[in-house]
């Protein structure tokens, strides 16, 4: 990957700021991955989020943080917006539009609050730049496609998690699934990488910021349907997406990686839900 041109300010490895950041990221487990398990689970999730913001505010007041409360607040706002609905895969027309609206708001509200409320430009959607892609970057795209073709059918079918996605038999169902998979994949990058990861990077070393965003990213994906042994795939994927963006600063590239991966996910779900209709996968239900 080509190195980023932006200078990187060294961050200390251990700071008190990690306490609220870990609480905030950890709240995603209760708000998403374990959503609905009990009322106590929900209350714990929101409680962790509130405590995280309170601790961040106190650290800022004590001079132990620099805009920590503001940045964690932006992340928390996005998490709360997403937590208002279930993100389990559902392509019914009503949920299709409702989920689209809520996810769009989860990106737009922190962005608008940052830009016009705090007069800050930390959240930026870099649709241009990062060109030209190197041979390594093009090669990685080929690897993503190959590994997706090799691993995803085995994961979805042998674990049975394809049943977490709705049945798709008619052309309009297949079309909605295609749009939904790609829309959520695009949103993942706009929120988890260009919002959550970027805001964490203002206060922590890149590797710590990457782990913090991965906790939230994987919690969301678990609720979406990537369950069973899915975290063995989603954790490396989320970490790689954060690392790639930190190196390239290229939204088009990380988005291309994600959408290629999701293209295989889409085909595997159609394949599994229709008795192995796609002939080039090695395994069928």
Question: Per-residue pLDDT tens for 160-195?
Answer: 999 999 999 999 999 999 999 999 999 999 999 999
Q: Given pLDDT bands bounded at 50, 70 and 90, which one contains residue 5?
A: very low
Taking a C-beta distance cutoff of 8 angstroms, is the pair 196, 78 a contact?
yes
Q: How far apart are CA 272 and CA 264, in angstroms?
A: 12
Q: What is the mean pLDDT of the chain?
A: 92
Residues 6+ apart with CB under 8 A from 221: 230, 234, 238
Q: What is the dihedral of CA 18, 198, 234, 102, to 10 degrees?
A: 110
Q: In this structure, what token pair is assigned to residue 231?
A: 């975290």
Tokens representing 110 are: 């922190």
pLDDT at 8 over 60: no
Structural contact between residues 115 and 192, judged by C-beta atoms closer than 8 angstroms: no
Query: What pLDDT shows up at residue 2?
Result: 44
Q: What is the DSSP letter of 177?
A: H
Q: Assess whether pLDDT exceeds 90 at residue 38.
A: no
Q: What is the pLDDT of residue 9?
A: 54
- Report helix, strand or coil for 147: helix
Tokens standing for residue 137? 């970057």
Give me the mean pLDDT over the 239-252 stretch: 95
* Res. 273 pLDDT band, cuts 50 70 90: very high
Place of tokens 């990685």: 140
Burial of 238 (0-12, 13-18, 19+ CB in 10 A): buried
């Amino acid at each position: 990957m080509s190195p980023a041109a932006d200078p990187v300010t060294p961050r200390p490895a251990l700071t008190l700021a990690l306490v609220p950041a870990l609480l905030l990221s950890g709240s995603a487990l209760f708000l998403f991955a374990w959503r609905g398990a009990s009322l106590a689970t929900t209350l714990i999730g929101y409680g962790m989020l509130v405590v995280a913001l309170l601790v961040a505010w106190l650290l800022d007041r004590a001079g132990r943080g620099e805009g920590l409360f503001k940045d964690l607040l932006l992340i928390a706002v996005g998490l709360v917006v997403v937590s208002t609905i279930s993100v389990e895969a559902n392509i019914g027309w009503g949920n299709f539009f409702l989920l689209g609206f809520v996810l769009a708001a989860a990106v737009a509200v922190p962005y608008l609050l940052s830009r016009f409320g705090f007069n800050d430009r930390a959240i930026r959607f870099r649709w241009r730049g990062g060109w030209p892609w190197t041979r390594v970057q093009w090669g990685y795209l080929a690897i993503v496609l190959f590994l997706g073709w090799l691993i995803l059918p085995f994961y979805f079918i042998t674990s049975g998690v394809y049943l977490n996605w709705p049945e798709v038999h008619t052309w309009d169902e297949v079309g909605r699934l295609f749009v939904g998979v790609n829309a959520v994949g695009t949103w993942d990058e706009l929120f988890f990488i260009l919002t959550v990861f970027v805001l964490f990077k203002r206060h922590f070393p890149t590797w710590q910021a990457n782990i913090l965003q991965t906790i939230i990213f994987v919690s969301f994906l678990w609720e979406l349907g990537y369950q069973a042994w899915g975290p063995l795939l989603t954790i490396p994927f989320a970490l790689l997406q954060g690392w790639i963006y930190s190196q390239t600063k290229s939204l088009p590239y990380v988005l291309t990686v994600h959408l290629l991966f999701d293209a295989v996910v889409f085909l595997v779900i159609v394949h599994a839900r229709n008795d192995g209709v796609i002939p080039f996968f090695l395994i069928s239900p």
